[in-house]
Amino acid sequence: MQYRTLARTAVSAIGLGAMPLSIEHRPDEKRAIATVHAALDAGVTLIDTADSYHWHAGETGHNELLVARALAAYGGDTSRVLVATKGGRGRPGDGSWTVSAAPAHLKRAAAASAKRLGVDAIGLYQLHKPDPAVPWAESVGALRELLDAGTIRAAGVSNVTTDQILQAHRILGDGLVSVQNQYSPAVRDSEPELRLSERLGLAFLPWSPLGGISRSSLDGPSGPTSIGTAFHRLAAERDVSPQQIVLAWLLARSPAMIPVPGASRPASISDSARATELRLNARELTELETLLPD
C-alpha cells in the first residue's frame, strides 16, 4: 500500500467509499462488514461515509453506524484509520437527495455523526454540497465553529467550484484539508478544482472515480457500463482489472489525488487496493489520455 497526506496524516492512497454498503441494492450486514474488513486487510486506512448514506426514510446515519460496527469488530489495529464523514444532504426515502447546509443543521448533524461513529472528534468532516438557499460563507462558517469547538479535527468541502474552494480556504485556513468532487475517465469537469487543490496543499478525493468503466452504485444492477475502452485493453495487456488501471491512472494524474472507490463485496475493494502497486509508464499514460473522451 502507498500513502498520501490527508488531514495532516498519512492515509492509504486508495480509500474505501462505503456508500454502496447502505443505499439501494445494499448487501446484507455480514457481507458489508466483511467488505470493510477486506479493505483494512488490504491496508486501506481511509473510509469515506456520510450521514445521508442510507436507503429508507428514518435511517439517517445507517452507513456511519455500519462503519463503526465494522471497525469495532475488526481483530486488528484500527488506530490509523481515518473515517471521513459528511453532512448537509438528506434522503427522504423515495430515492431522492435533498440539501440542507444551514449552520444550525450542520452543527447538529456533526454532533450526531460523532456520536454514531463513537468518537470524541470527527477526523474529517466534509460539507456534502453547497445549499443554494444558504450563503456559502455561512455554511463554511459552521465548519469553522465545529473546528473551534473541537467537534471535528479537519474540514473538507464537496461538489464545489474553484471560487467556493478559495472562499472556504479564506475562512478555514489550515483547517481545510480536502476537496471531494466527481472525477473519472468519463467526467473530468473538475480539472480546475483538482489543480487548485494541488496549489493549496489540499487532498482531492474523487467520488465515483470509476465512471465510464464501472456502474455507479446508484445506477443499480442494470445501469450503464463500458467495455472495450483503452483502460480495458491495457488491463488485458497487464493482466489486471480495468478498475485497477483507472485507479492507477488517477493516482498518476496528481499527488493530491486519493480515490475512494465504492465497494459492496470484499473482492472489489481488495482488487482496488492493489492499484497502488501498479505503475503506468509514459507510453501507457499518453495512450490513455489520447483516447479519453473530451
Q: Which residues are catalytic?
A: 53
Q: Give me 59's grid cell.
A: 435511517
Rounded (10°) angle between helices 162-172 and 136-149: 40
The residues pairing with 87 across neighbouring beta strands, listed in sequence order, are: 127
Buried b (16+ CB within 10 A) or exposed e, 57-77: eebbbbbbbbbbebbeebeee
| Cα(72)–Cα(179) distance, integer angstroms | 28
Identify whether the C-beta of residue 203 lies closer than 8 Å to the C-beta of residue 6. Answer: yes
Cα dihedral value 144, 145, 148, 153, nearest 10: -60
- In terms of Cβ atoms closer than 10 Å to its own Cβ (0-12, 13-18, 19+), residue 187 is middle
What sign results for the dihedral spanned by CA atoms 25, 27, 32, 38? Answer: negative
| Cα(188)–Cα(241) distance, integer angstroms | 21
What sign results for the dihedral spanned by CA atoms 16, 17, 19, 20? Answer: negative
